[in-house]
């Protein structure tokens, strides 16, 4: 069999290129369709693992502390991410609660667990048990993890309620804000580089 | 314009899971590196994209007509649809938030329907019109994909918070279910479309060096699109 590991195929138009080594801030584009082929990856395995642990802590904060609390005529109430999933689950619309739970709680949690598993072994330059499966799940989960949408949603909710009653952003909201930005950095497409390193 | 050879000309196939260029001489069904199933093109791409998109289009009607939430404030209850929520912000002077919700909930699904239909029809007619721009359009559709979930999450949060019985209570309504289905199905539609189909009948370009892959353009060295 011919070795093809030095080749890269544009996923948008099928053109074949040779991989190049990139410097900081560089990326390569397909000359035919303009799609991005490679992006510079500035994270070492150690850095990515450290960020993943940080993100896991933030996930705990985002899920166990209220995203925001409100008060109306002396009565107080607060809601976590799980509360908002439950709020959707009543009545005939349970399906959408499931979608929301996957998008804002389950998918990010699985991404973090899989990353910690894969990266911990990668530290010793070894492939983790079930490496193939883990990496494929990381690819599958990516489009369904919607934390940044959730963050914008929480901010819109603050404005929506601010006209009716007093709204106070909670620890969960700040954790969510940082977590959603970190997920973009650590769970992006560049984790595919592990296939080449290990 | 010169272009590098394509994967099919070199008898290669891209693995969508790990990005390996797989050698197809033995017609393997799985990627030798990550075991993901290999397809030269996404299976039944056009049919599946049409199906998901038409399903989403069917859900788009109740999503916009049915109320998405019910607000009871001091005994007065009122249903609100997505558009009435936008108008409420607009009339209160919060045009920026009205714009965010309008873009995420109404414009984004609308743009996706138009863009996917355009892509599907042009691919089926083997059109050679503006291939590069259509590729860009597809990447744009993929990028904006999940932002429409915004309203679902807003309703969820607001409904979880405002629970003061008669004094104030917000409940989700079935419209939000249809709305979520629109988002899920448009995402599935975008995922089943294979952007390589845009280029498959491309005969206008010549191969730069016969059957040898070239190095790609780095950074903004790639030529700018020249317009339609």
Same domain assignment for residues B34 and B56: no
pLDDT band at A141 (very low <50, low <70, confident <90, very high): very high
pLDDT digits (tens, 9 = 90+) for A102-123: 999 999 999 999 999 999 999 8
B72, B30: one domain: no
For residue range A72-82, what is the model confidence (pLDDT) as tens digits?
878 888 999 99
If chain B, 228 residues long, is cut into consecutive pieces of 10 residues, what is the mean pLDDT of each piece?
79 86 84 85 90 94 90 81 88 86 89 93 87 90 87 90 81 90 93 89 61 56 35
Note whether residue B14 is domain-resident. Answer: yes
A4/B23 touch (CB, cutoff 8 Å), yes or no = yes
Both B27 and B136 in one domain: the answer is no
Whether B210 maps to a domain, the answer reads: no
Domain check: are B163 and B114 in the same one?
A: yes
Residue A49 has pLDDT above 90, yes or no: yes
CATH number at residue B149: 1.20.140
Among A37, A72, A91, beta carbon nearest to B164: A72
Say if residues A56 and A112 touch (Cβ distance below 8 Å): yes
Q: What is the pLDDT of residue B224?
A: 35
Asked if B109 and B20 sit in the same domain, the reply is no
CA distances from B93 to B69, B105, B151 (A): 21, 19, 20
B120 in any annotated domain: yes
Q: Residues B4, B103: one domain? A: no
Residue B105 shares a structural domain with residue B26: no
Partners of residue B199 in chain A, C-beta under 8 Å = 12-14, 32-33
Interchain CB distance below 8 Å, B161 and A192? no
Rounded to an integer, what is the distance from CA A33 to the centroid of its chain? Answer: 27
- Report phi then psi at B151, rounded to 5: -65, -35
User: How far is the C-alpha of B36 from the C-alpha of B22, rounded, in Å?
Assistant: 11
Q: Is B13 helix (H, G, I), strand (E, B) or coil?
A: strand
pLDDT tens per residue across span A142-188: 999 999 999 999 988 888 888 778 888 899 999 999 999 999 889 88
Contact A150, A81 (CB under 8 A): yes
Cβ <8 Å between B146 and A73: no
Beta carbon pairs, A and B, within 8 Å: 266
Structural domain count of chain B: 2
Q: Is B36's Cβ below 8 Å from some Cβ in A? A: yes
Same domain membership, residue B87 and residue B129? yes
Q: Is residue B90 assigned to a domain?
A: yes
Q: Which pLDDT score is estimated for B204?
A: 63
Q: What ipTM does this complex have?
A: 0.89
How far off is chain A from B108, nearest CA to CA, in Å? 13
- Owning domain of residue B70: 44-203
Does residue B221 belong to any structural domain of this protein? Answer: no
**How far apart are the CA of A65 and the nearest CA of chain B, in angstroms?**
14
Q: Is some CB atom of chain A closer than 8 A to the CB atom of B171?
A: yes
Give the tens place of pLDDT for each residue, A12-44: 888 888 888 888 888 888 888 888 888 888 888
Do B91 and B161 lie in a common domain? yes
**Is B219 a domain residue?**
no
Cβ-nearest to A13 among B19, B135, B163: B135
According to the model, what pLDDT value does residue B226 have? 31
Are B180 and A99 inside 8 Å of each other by CB?
A: yes
Whether B13 and B50 share a structural domain: no
């Amino acid at each position: 069999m011919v070795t093809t590991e030095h080749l890269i195929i544009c996923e948008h138009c099928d053109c074949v290129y040779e991989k190049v080594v990139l410097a900081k801030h560089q990326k390569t584009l397909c000359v035919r369709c303009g799609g991005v082929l490679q992006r510079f990856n500035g994270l070492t395995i150690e850095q990515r693992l450290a960020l993943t642990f940080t993100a896991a802590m933030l996930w705990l904060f985002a899920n166990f502390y209220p995203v925001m609390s409100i008060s109306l005529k002396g009565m107080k109430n607060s809601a976590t991410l799980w509360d908002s999933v439950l709020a959707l689950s009543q009545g005939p619309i349970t399906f959408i609660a499931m979608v929301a739970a996957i998008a804002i709680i389950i998918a990010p949690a699985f991404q973090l667990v899989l990353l910690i598993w894969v990266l911990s072994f990668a530290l010793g330059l070894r492939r983790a048990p079930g490496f193939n499966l883990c990496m494929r799940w990381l690819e599958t989960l990516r489009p369904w993890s919607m934390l940044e949408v959730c963050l914008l949603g929480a901010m819109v909710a603050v404005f929506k309620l601010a006209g009716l009653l007093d709204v106070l952003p909670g620890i969960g909201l700040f954790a969510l804000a940082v977590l959603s930005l970190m997920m973009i950095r650590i769970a992006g497409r560049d984790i595919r580089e592990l296939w080449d390193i290990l | 314009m010169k272009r590098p050879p394509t994967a099919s000309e070199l008898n290669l196939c891209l693995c969508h899971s790990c990005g390996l260029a797989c050698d197809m001489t033995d017609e393997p069904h799985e990627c030798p590196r990550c075991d993901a199933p290999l397809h030269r093109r996404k299976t039944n791409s056009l049919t599946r994209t049409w199906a998901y998109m038409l399903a989403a289009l069917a859900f788009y009607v109740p999503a916009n007509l049915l109320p998405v939430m019910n607000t009871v404030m001091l005994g007065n209850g009122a249903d609100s649809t997505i558009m009435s929520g936008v108008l409420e912000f607009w009339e209160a002077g919060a045009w920026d938030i009205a714009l965010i919700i309008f873009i995420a909930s109404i414009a984004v699904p609308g743009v996706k329907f138009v863009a996917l239909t355009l892509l599907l029809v042009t691919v089926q007619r083997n059109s050679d019109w503006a291939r590069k721009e259509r590729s860009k359009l597809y990447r744009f559709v993929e990028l904006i994909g999940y932002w429409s979930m915004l309203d679902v999450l807003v309703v969820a949060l607001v409904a979880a918070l405002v629970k003061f019985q008669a004094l104030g209570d917000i409940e989700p309504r079935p419209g939000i279910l249809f709305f979520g289905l629109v988002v899920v199905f448009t995402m599935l539609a975008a995922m089943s479309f294979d952007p390589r189909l845009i280029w498959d009948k491309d005969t206008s370009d010549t191969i730069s060096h016969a059957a040898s892959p070239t190095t790609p353009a780095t950074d903004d060295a790639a030529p700018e699109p020249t317009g339609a």
